[in-house]
Amino acid sequence: MATRTSTRSTKAVKFVDSTNDDDEHEFDTSEAPIIKVEPKKAKPRGRPRRNRSSNDDDEEWDAGNEHIENDDEEDEEVSEGDEDVTKKFKTNPVNRSIDSVYDFGEMSGTARKWTKTTTQTPQRNSTVSDTGKSMEKLMCSYCNYTTTKKYLLQRHLKSHSTERPHKCAYCDRSFKTTIQLTNHVNTHLGVKPFQCKFCSFSFTTSGELIRHVRYKHTLEKPHRCEECGYATVELSKLRRHIRTHTGEKPYACPHCSYCSPDTFKLKRHLRVHTGERPYQCTICNFRFTQSNSLKAHMLTHQAEKPSFPCSYCPSVMARKSDLRYHIGKQHARQSEPLSCNKCDEDFPDKYSLRMHGKTHKGQTIHSCNHCEFSANTSQQLEDHMNKHRGTRPFQCSECGLMFAARADLRAHVTRTHRNAATPTTTTTTAATLSAAMNSPIAMNRRPQRRAASLQHRYIGVSSGAEDEEHQEDDYRCPICHRQFTSARLLDRHTYAVHEPKQDSYDNRDYQTNEIEDEDDVRDYADDELEEKPKANINIKNEMHANQLKLEDGITDDEQGLDEEELDLAPIVEDIIDGDDDFEQIPTIKSISSAGRKQLGIIRKFDEIENDDDDDGLSHKRKCIINRDEHDEKPDFDVFGFNG
Q: Which of residues 70-89 bind DNA (CB under 7 A)?
A: none
Q: Restricting to residues 454-483, name those near DNA by CB under 7 A.
A: 455-457, 459-460, 482
Q: Restricting to residues 147-166, name those near DNA by CB under 7 A.
A: 147, 151-152, 155-156, 159
The answer to whether the CB of 243 falls within 8 A of the CB of 39 is yes
Contact call for residue 404 and DNA (CB under 7 A): no
How far, in Å, CA of 8 to CA of 304, rounded?
Answer: 29
The answer to whether the CB of 281 falls within 8 A of the CB of 287 is yes
The answer to whether the CB of 341 falls within 8 A of the CB of 326 is no
Q: How far is CA 555 from the centre of its chain?
A: 28
Among 49, 197, 356, 544, binds DNA (CB under 7 A): 49
Q: Which is nearer to DNA, 25 or 532 (CB)?
A: 25
Residue type (1 letter), 510: Y
Contact call for residue 620 and DNA (CB under 7 A): yes
Contact call for residue 224 and DNA (CB under 7 A): no
List the one residue out of 425, 422, 423, 389 whose CA is nearest residue 404. Answer: 389
Residue 176 CB contacts under 8 Å (≥ 6 apart), including other chains: 158, 159, 161, 163, 164, 165, 166
How far, in Å, CA of 166 to CA of 176, rounded?
Answer: 6
Smallest gap from residue 303 Cβ to DNA (A): 12
- Binding string, 491-530, against DNA, x = CB under 7 A? -xx--xx---x-----------------------------
Contact call for residue 234 and DNA (CB under 7 A): yes
Contact call for residue 633 and DNA (CB under 7 A): no
Q: Restricting to residues 106-135, name those near DNA by CB under 7 A.
A: 107, 110-114, 117-118, 120-122, 124
Q: Which range binds DNA by CB under 7 A, 79-87, 447-455, 504-512, 521-529?
A: 447-455
Among 33, 578, 586, 634, binds DNA (CB under 7 A): 586
How far, in Å, CA of 319 to CA of 307, rounded?
Answer: 7
How far, in Å, CA of 352 to CA of 345, rounded?
Answer: 11
Q: Which range binds DNA by CB under 7 A, 77-85, 89-97, 238-246, 526-534?
A: 238-246
Q: Which is nearer to DNA, 157 or 561 (CB)?
A: 157
Q: Restricting to residues 562-581, name those near DNA by CB under 7 A.
A: none
Among 597, 611, 626, 634, binds DNA (CB under 7 A): 597
Residue 250 CB contacts under 8 Å (≥ 6 apart), including other chains: 41, 42, 259, 261
The phi-psi region of residue 190 (left if phi > 0; otherwise alpha if psi is between -120 and 50; otherwise beta) is left
Among 119, 177, 341, 359, binds DNA (CB under 7 A): 177
Among 139, 343, 407, 601, binds DNA (CB under 7 A): 407
List the one residue out of 493, 492, 494, 518 whose CA is nearest residue 505. Answer: 518
Contact call for residue 320 and DNA (CB under 7 A): yes
Q: Which range binds DNA by CB under 7 A, 423-431, 465-473, 510-518, 533-541?
A: 423-431
How far, in Å, CA of 188 to CA of 190, rounded?
Answer: 6
Three-state SS for 428?
A: helix
- Please count the other Cβ atoms lying within 10 Å of the Cβ belonging to residue 387: 17
Among 23, 47, 133, 436, binds DNA (CB under 7 A): 47
Contact call for residue 197 and DNA (CB under 7 A): no
